[in-house]
């Protein structure tokens, strides 16, 4: 059951709201130049400290994505002191990125030493022991790409860590950690899903965002 | 190649063994061709090697195997020279030389060589070979760690262990050991174990379990077979009732009849009417009896016999059941549709009376921790009381009958009673789960085994049924022979490890069956009225008590004891007329 498109016409949408949504997305993802030109075009009020920090955040994100965790950590410490101390999970994840780098470049001795110095201290808490085991298991294989833990070497994993870092930095500066855009889309999908289920008819397929956008 | 010096492929070598020894043997003829033995078709070997030599009268023991396990037993006892001699004389080796080399290499820590040898032994199962390699390399790994050679251990893990591609979860665990050999992590995780390498002998034992028994004879195999035989003999022994009967290898074990109590050593006369229930205390030092004469008696059991200790006379109604407290310091008695009384055993005082307004009690039982009393009531419910009389809980509905036994299991969780004419209720009071034993006949009484795994059920039609009550109740055995037509007759478990069943009977005899085989082994005359109940002393497997409508209790013991009694009558029976002890 689809909503009658005519109903859409009756909903007024404020331009300013749309601008805010777009801006928040751009800011979250550090599209600095785009933000500048967007602000200029729409005549919005320029957010004060966003730009400078955005640049720094962007670089941190890039480093994390590449796997250059040590640089990312260094810059994070500069930008947001104590952030990593308060986010032990994140800290561990970042350090593990570096460990993974060492393993991938087959620097076993270095990787081992790094793990002993930096990662094992986390082992005092039970939840980190399991994670530690996951990473150490990579060392056990000459070809870590073929080991059971190969997903820890993937781009997806690095992206996941980089995203977490990004959100943590935003939170630290009291900015929203999720963009309005993301939230709105999630909201829509969930609501449509619920509606479809409630009507109890045999809907051929669940709500698809892709299809909706195409239509 | 590792110093084995054996160029023949192992599989050929193994087969060569049995052929070799036929050539080497003195040409003794086959005792019985195994293939033609019609006696035991199931034992026919799948691959007929054209008549392997056998020993023994049944043709099922292969000579090669027999000699090898003997050699193994001698080896375990330390008689190495004897083993060598036997190998020479019989031409049958305990282990092929390649296996000997392998074992030597393991004990000396020649890991790499041992792995090579392992591949040459001639095992066919890929997985076994890999698992064995894994064990050996794991040992190598741990020994490196113990020596502090972390990088060597890591190399072993990476280049030798992981490529085996088995047991990845163990590889995970091992990789954690690399980074922290001293196991300084949280102690909660039980699977981590210790990092200290186990002894090489232990490793050999583990390998032995992994490899097929033909390659490496399992440890203690001969001892195991002999013990199996001894256990079977003991289980089949119908009169086995004494601990000190040692088993010998020279003769098959068989106790004589004289181990079962069958001689009346004492006749206790103190009740003035029919005796309805009888129970030894848990420690076997006391005996409680209750009667239609509205009294209960506590008897004391000592080296001289059974003597009256206290007569408990406060009930106004006949007492149908008694129950000992778990510590045997107190006794419960239940008057028929009357009250339950709690007595102190040493003083004979009544400590408490349990009653419920307008409702008579019909049975009584203790909780195993001694804190609560259970009682069946005339309205078929069951109540639970604190010792001071406060009622804690009441299970209403048809939980019990006006005439029913009541038992509580050792974990305090299950209440057992006859809830319908033909059914027994097993109520788990915590989980609130009910199980039932359903019979075709009316149930008159039951008895719970000491280990709580079995229930003995007496039926109207003169059968006694043994039920296994673990999980879903299953009928296990039936016992017949005794007589029951009008009254409640009780039976019990007893003897060493409760291997016997005893029961009263309306023909005045006491019946005893062997529990496992169901064979009736004794029927003891003596009483002059229906024998209502029996109780076997839990602490003395040679003492059995029976109580009858003839108002007496008989104490039964072993035959040879009666001659030793000091103050006995000529017929060797000691009478006790109920005079109280000082």
- Strand-pairing partners, residue B510, are B524
- Strand-pairing partners, residue B557, are B263
Mean pLDDT, residues B224-242 taken together: 89
Q: Does B191 touch chain A (CB under 8 A)?
A: no
| CA–CA dist B567, A171 (Å, integer) | 98
Contact B253, B267 (CB under 8 A): no
| CA–CA dist A127, A146 (Å, integer) | 25
| pLDDT exceeds cutoff 50 at B38 | no
More confident residue, B195 or B318: B318
Run of H or E including B441: none
Segment 119-138 of chain A within 8 Å of chain B by CB:
119-120, 123-126, 129, 132-134, 136-138
Give me the residue from A120, A139, A147 closest to B180, CB to CB.
A120
Q: According to the model, what pLDDT value does residue B50 have? A: 43
Give me the residue from B162, B178, B186 closest to A141, CB to CB.
B162
| pLDDT exceeds cutoff 70 at B503 | yes
- 8 Å CB contact of A140 and B174: yes
Q: Is A175 helix (H, G, I), strand (E, B) or coil?
A: coil
Using alpha carbons, select from B268, B272, B266, B316 the residue that is nearest to residue B288.
B268
Using alpha carbons, select from B323, B338, B424, B410 the residue that is nearest to residue B374.
B323
- 8 Å CB contact of B172 and A129: no
Size of interface A-B (CB pairs under 8 A): 69
Give the pLDDT confidence of B452-471 residue by residue, as tens digits.
Answer: 999 999 998 889 999 999 98
Q: Does B476 touch chain A (CB under 8 A)?
A: no
| CA–CA dist B246, B52 (Å, integer) | 37
More confident residue, B138 or A52: B138
Give the pLDDT confidence of B540-557 residue by residue, as tens digits.
Answer: 999 999 999 999 999 999
Q: Does B452 touch chain A (CB under 8 A)?
A: no
Residue B525 DSSP class = -
Give the pLDDT confidence of B429-452 residue by residue, as tens digits.
Answer: 888 899 999 999 999 999 999 999
* B121 phi and psi angles, rounded to 5 deg: -65, -30
Mean pLDDT, residues B229-233 taken together: 90
Which residues are within 8 A (CB) of B248 and not within 5 positions of it... i.e. 6 or more apart?
A: none
Give me the residue from A109, A132, A142 closest to B176, CB to CB.
A132
Which residues are within 8 A (CB) of B193 and not within 5 positions of it... i.e. 6 or more apart?
A: none
Give residue for tokens 């006696």.
Answer: B39
Tell me if the pTM is above 0.90.
no
- Strand-pairing partners, residue B436, are B425
Using alpha carbons, select from B474, B421, B465 the residue that is nearest to residue B443.
B421
Detail the DSSP E strand segments found in chain A: none
- Strand-pairing partners, residue B341, are B333, B353
Residue B359 DSSP class = B
Segment 59-88 of chain A within 8 Å of chain B by CB:
none
Give the pLDDT confidence of B83-101 residue by residue, as tens digits.
Answer: 999 999 999 999 988 999 9
The tokens for B171 are: 């590889």
- Strand-pairing partners, residue B279, are B288
Maximum C-alpha span of chain B: 95
Give the pLDDT confidence of B310-345 residue by residue, as tens digits.
Answer: 999 999 999 999 999 999 999 999 999 999 999 999
Task: Name the percent of chain A in helix, strand, coil, to the closest 5.
Answer: 75, 0, 25
């Amino acid at each position: 059951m689809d909503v009658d498109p005519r109903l859409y016409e009756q909903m007024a949408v404020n331009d300013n709201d749309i601008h805010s949504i777009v801006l928040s997305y751009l800011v979250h993802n550090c599209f600095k130049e785009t933000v500048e030109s967007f602000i200029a075009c729409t005549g919005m009020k320029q957010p004060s400290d966003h730009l400078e920090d955005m640049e720094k955040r962007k670089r941190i994100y890039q480093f994390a994505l590449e796997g250059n965790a040590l640089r990312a950590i260094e810059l994070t410490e500069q930008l947001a002191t104590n952030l990593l101390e308060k986010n032990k999970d994140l800290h561990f994840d970042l350090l593990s990125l570096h460990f993974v780098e060492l393993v991938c470049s087959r620097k076993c001795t270095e990787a081992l030493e790094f793990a002993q110095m930096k990662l094992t201290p986390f082992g005092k808490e039970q939840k980190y022991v399991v994670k530690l085991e996951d990473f150490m298991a990579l060392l056990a294989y000459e070809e870590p790409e073929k080991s059971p833990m190969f997903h820890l070497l993937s781009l997806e994993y690095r992206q996941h860590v980089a995203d977490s870092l990004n959100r943590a930095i935003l939170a630290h500066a009291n900015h929203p950690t999720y963009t309005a855009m993301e939230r709105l889309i999630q909201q829509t999908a969930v609501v449509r899903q619920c509606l479809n289920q409630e009507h109890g008819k045999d809907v051929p397929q669940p709500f698809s965002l892709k299809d909706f956008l195409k239509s | 190649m590792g110093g084995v010096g054996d160029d023949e492929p192992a599989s050929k070598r193994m087969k060569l063994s049995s052929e070799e020894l036929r050539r080497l043997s003195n040409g003794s003829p086959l005792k019985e061709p195994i293939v033609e033995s019609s006696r035991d078709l199931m034992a026919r070997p799948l691959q007929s090697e054209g008549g392997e030599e056998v020993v023994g009268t049944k043709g099922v023991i292969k000579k090669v195997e027999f000699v090898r396990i003997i050699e193994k037993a001698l080896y375990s006892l330390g008689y190495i020279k004897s083993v060598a001699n036997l190998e020479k004389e019989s031409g049958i080796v305990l282990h092929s030389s390649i296996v000997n080399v392998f074992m030597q290499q393991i004990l000396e820590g020649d890991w790499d060589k041992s792995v090579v040898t392992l591949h040459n032994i001639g095992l066919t199962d890929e997985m076994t070979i890999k698992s064995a390699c894994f064990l050996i390399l794991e040992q190598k790994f741990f020994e490196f760690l113990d020596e502090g050679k972390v990088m060597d251990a890591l190399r072993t893990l990476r280049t030798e262990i992981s490529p085996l591609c088995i047991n990845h979860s163990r590889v995970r665990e091992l990789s954690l050991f690399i980074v922290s050999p001293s196991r300084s992590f949280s102690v909660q995780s039980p699977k981590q174990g210790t990092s200290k390498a186990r002894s090489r002998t232990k490793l050999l034992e583990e390998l032995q379990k992994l490899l097929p028994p033909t390659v490496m004879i399992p440890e203690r195999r001969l001892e195991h077979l002999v013990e199996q035989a001894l256990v079977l003999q003991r289980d089949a022994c119908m009169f086995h009732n004494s601990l000190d009967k040692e088993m010998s290898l020279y003769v098959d074990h068989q106790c004589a009849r004289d181990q079962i109590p069958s001689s009346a050593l004492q006749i206790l006369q103190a009740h003035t009417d029919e005796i309805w229930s009888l129970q030894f205390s848990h420690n076997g030092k006391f005996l409680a009896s209750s009667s239609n004469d509205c009294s209960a008696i506590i008897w004391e059991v000592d080296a001289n016999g059974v003597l009256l200790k206290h007569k408990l006379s406060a009930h106004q109604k006949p007492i149908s059941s008694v129950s000992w407290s778990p510590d045997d310091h107190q006794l419960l008695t239940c008057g028929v549709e009357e009250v339950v009384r709690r007595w102190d055993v040493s003083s004979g005082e009544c400590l408490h009376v349990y009653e419920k307004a307008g409702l008579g009690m019909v049975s009584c039982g203790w909780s195993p921790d001694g804190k609560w009393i259970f009682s069946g009531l005339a309205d078929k419910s069951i109540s639970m009381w604190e010792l001071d009389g406060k009622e804690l809980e009441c299970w209403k509905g048809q939980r019990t009958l006006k005439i029913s036994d009541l038992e509580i299991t050792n974990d305090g969780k299950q209440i057992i009673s006859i809830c319908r004419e033909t059914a027994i209720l097993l109520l788990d009071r915590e989980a609130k789960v009910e199980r039932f034993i359903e019979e075709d006949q009316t149930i008159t009484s039951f008895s719970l085994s000491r280990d709580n795994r079995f229930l003995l059920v007496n039926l109207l039609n003169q059968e006694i049924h043994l039920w296994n009550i673990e999980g879903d109740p299953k009928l296990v055995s039936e016992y017949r022979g005794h007589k029951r037509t009008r009254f409640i007759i009780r039976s019990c478990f007893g003897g060493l490890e409760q291997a016997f069943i005893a029961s009263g009977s309306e023909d005045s005899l006491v019946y005893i069956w062997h529990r496992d085989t169901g064979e009736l082994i004794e029927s003891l005359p003596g009483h002059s009225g229906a024998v209502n109940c029996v109780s076997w002393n839990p602490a003395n497997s040679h003492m059995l008590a029976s109580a009858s409508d003839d108002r007496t209790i008989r104490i039964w013991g072993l035959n040879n004891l009666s001659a030793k009694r000091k103050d006995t009558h000529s017929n060797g029976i000691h009478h006790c007329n109920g005079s109280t002890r000082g």
